[in-house]
Amino acid sequence: MRDWLFLACEAGHDWQSIGGCNAGCGPDCSCSVPVNICSRCGDCDYGDNEDARQVRASCRLGSDEYRV
């Protein structure tokens, strides 16, 4: 039984960074966002996380702060 693993994840996944991918916030976008995978259940956020939201928001504002 692995049910307890998923119960634990209901409160929040144990994200581990596995790298990054293109933010995809625009046709000329070259931003990258972190991609995380849960060490318990193996779920992947595919770049859907708070850091990615900050990168995309920053890109819209024309800031280079989060660009790599």
Least distance (Å) between residue 50 CB and Zn ion: 16
- Candidates 33, 35, 52, 59; binder of Zn ion (CB under 5 A) is 59
Output the CA–CA distances (angstroms, integers) from residue 27 to 31, 36, 62, in the order listed.
Answer: 11, 24, 14
Candidate list 15, 19, 21, 31; residue touching Zn ion; CB under 5 A? 31
Q: How far is the CB of 67 from Zn ion (least distance, A)?
A: 8
Burial class (CB in 10 A: 0-12, 13-18, 19+), 7: exposed
CB of 21 to Zn ion, least distance (A): 12
